[in-house]
Structure 1
Amino acid sequence: MTILVVSGTGTEIGKTIVTAAVAAASGGRVAVLKPAQTGVAPGEHGDAAEVVRLAGGEVTALELARYPEPLAPATAARRCGLAPVRPHEIADAAQKLATEHDLVLVEGAGGLLVRYDDEGATLADAARLLEAPVLLVAAAGLGTLNSTALTAEALRARGLACPGVVIGSMPAEPDLATRCNVEDLPVAAGAPLLGVLPAGAGSLRPADFRARAASWLAPELGGVRGMR
């Protein structure tokens, strides 16, 4: 998987931390591409920079656009009068990075079908241009099965491969629904469970994060964790 798209079932579920963990566990030359960073002012720390901080300074980071308001990319671009990011621009940037790196991680904004422009283009359209697999990051708790099943169905409808699902933030003391979801999420996704990240992983010291990243991920993502 020279290019891997990282998407999710929604926002604030751990996509950036999962991206950082995959980057840290990969063991090769890694680039992270953030097509549209929203909710961050010029000069502020964005998601791509956070991946570099956690995974290591040798990771290459690239943003294509930055919009100050924390909104869907299309809305954020329109409100601040800046150009939106188009799928072909995402694909072109990822392909260029792939010529110089072993792995390119393309981290989306929000969920899979969030709009990037007013014509309705989404991260899925960029993944189709790239013919790249889409790693699905899901929440751990109640309600995640439905959103995961819907996202997986959208992937299949577009002919996009999903190598697996990763739980972005597992609480230290999971409730009954969360414990059951560990078993049920692969069924909902129609794809194997490839990782479980503990809640608060992004708050670890970068050295500790890098040392532990492989233990959270299955071998398919460069990790050592055994998955049921």
Structure 2
Amino acid sequence: MTVLFVTGTGTEIGKTMVSAAIAATSLAVGFSVAYLKPAQTGLGPDQPGDAAEVTRLAGHELTGVELARYPDPLAPATAARRAGLPSVGPAEIAEAAAKLAAVHDIVLVEGAGGLLVRFDQEGSTLADAAKMLGAPVLVVAQAGLGTLNTAALTAEALRARALACAGFVIGSWPDDPDLAARSNLADLPDCTGAPLIGALPAGAGSLTPDAFRQAAPGWLAPRIGGLWDVDAFTAIWSSII
């Protein structure tokens, strides 16, 4: 896959860390990688955003691009309106991703919050940009209670738009997962009809860049370049139930 869209079942669940892990894993085997953040919200002009964080963790060989920035920590459409700034629509996102794909092996496009968060006043979403490119969408989910419903809704929204789901990745796997988290390892694929293809440990972003890059392949399944074994991971944690 040349262009991969990264969305979530909500906000603050690990999309940026997952993007960084995929980028680091891909760079390590010689692929050229670009990371595109269509709209960064909640930060001032001089504060480092998600593109800077992915570059810091994955490596400075990465091409990091941010299309727009808005100060309020809101959905991009709302944040753009409040700031009196132009919004970023799906055509602009798709065009930027296509240009990056012309000169990179892999392009990661990270959305804001969930799949259907609005980017412009017409109600366009990340799904519309993915549809324009026919690109697959990877979904980052939380580990514990409540994730099955939000994950199933996201998978259903992707199917309704004829978008391919690349799979689900748990954005932050706790050191001491509760019963719901352990049960979700088996239930998540059943509820969504899509494979579980990774799990990042809680606190992954606090690792040094070198440690992050060395560990990243062990968090991701082979279909996205890693070494993570979903069956072994599930068996270990399920045995504790």
- TM category, shorter: over 0.9
Counterpart in 2 of 1:156?
Answer: 159
Counterpart in 1 of 2:7?
Answer: 7
TM-score, normalized by length of structure 2?
0.94
Any idea what the Cα deviations from partners look like across 1:117-171, whole Å, max 9, x if unmatched? 1110000000000100000100001000000000000000000000210000000
Matched, 1:35 2:49: no
Counterpart in 1 of 2:115?
Answer: 112
Counterpart in 1 of 2:124?
Answer: 121
- Which letter does structure 1 place at the counterpart of 2:4? L
Counterpart in 1 of 2:237?
Answer: none
Pairwise CA distance, 1:182: 1.1
CA distance in 2: counterparts of 1:78 and 1:128, whole angstroms: 25
CA distance in 1: counterparts of 2:228 and 2:206, whole angstroms: 21
Pairwise CA distance, 1:217: 0.4
Counterpart in 2 of 1:18?
Answer: 18
Pairwise CA distance, 1:112: 0.2
Pairwise CA distance, 1:25: 0.7
Instruction: For 1:139-154, list aligned pairs within 5 A.
Output: 139-154=142-157
TM-score, normalized by length of structure 1?
0.99
Matched, 1:210 2:189: no
Q: Unpaired runs of 5+ in structure 1?
A: none
Root mean square deviation of aligned Cα: 0.5
Counterpart in 1 of 2:92?
Answer: 89
Matched, 1:103 2:119: no
Q: Which moved more, 1:178-187 or 1:137-146?
A: 178-187
- Which letter does structure 2 place at the counterpart of 1:77? A
Q: Unpaired runs of 5+ in structure 2?
A: 232-241
Pairwise CA distance, 1:87: 0.3
SS of structure 1 residue aligned to 2:127:
helix
CA distance in 1: counterparts of 2:185 and 2:42, whole angstroms: 31
Matched, 1:54 2:57: yes
Instruction: For 1:145-184, list aligned pairs within 5 A.
Output: 145-184=148-187
CA distance in 1: counterparts of 2:82 and 2:36, whole angstroms: 23
Any idea what the Cα deviations from partners look like across 1:162-191, whole Å, max 9, x if unmatched? 021000000000000010011111112211
CA distance in 1: counterparts of 2:208 and 2:136, whole angstroms: 30
CA distance in 2: counterparts of 1:147 and 1:199, whole angstroms: 20
Any idea what the Cα deviations from partners look like across 1:68-93, whole Å, max 9, x if unmatched? 11000000000000000010000000
Q: Which moved more, 1:185-194 or 1:104-113?
A: 185-194
Matched, 1:222 2:194: no
- Which letter does structure 1 place at the counterpart of 2:192? A
CA distance in 2: counterparts of 1:68 and 1:188, whole angstroms: 36
